[in-house]
Amino acid sequence: MTKKSTCLKKPEKHTLEVYNWSEIVDWINNVSGRDVRDWSGKFSKKLYDENVPYEDFWHVLCNTCDMHNDSYISVSTDPDDYEKPFAKEIARLLASEFQTNGKDMECWVSW
């Protein structure tokens, strides 16, 4: 028979409330009328314009988050956390649409 520890609490169930990143993208695209994957519209116009920069927020996230398929990520909604102006703009939009009050958005990514 084992001795019971008096300083150990029985584990409790924990849950994490998260957004589905794909749904966030669909919402922001709808609200803004732009594409989070091509913010400046380089490829969405009928004529390709080599002078327009390719601005893809997904690539920004891949460089800032430890991400792999079927994982959780924390997406900052603080514009100061991003270097590029388009990413700052998206962060402000995320903060205003989801009332994050300066906190990160916990999201689920799956592809």
* 96 found inside a domain: yes
Q: Could you tell me which residues are beta bridge partners of residue 72?
A: 108
Q: State which amino acid sits at residue 25.
A: V
* 3 found inside a domain: no
* 31 found inside a domain: yes
Of the pLDDT bands very low, low, confident and very high (cuts 50, 70, 90), residue 50 is confident
Distance CA 19, CA 99 (A): 13
Domains held by the chain: number: 1
Q: Which two tokens stand for residue 36?
A: 């989070």
* 30 found inside a domain: yes
Between residues 44 and 19, which one has the greater pLDDT? 19
Chain centre to alpha carbon of residue 9: 35
- Give pLDDT, residue 5: 61
* 10 found inside a domain: no
Q: What's the domain range around 75?
A: 19-109
Dump pLDDT digits (tens) for 52-90. Answer: 899 999 999 999 988 899 999 999 999 999 999 999 999
- Give pLDDT, residue 3: 65
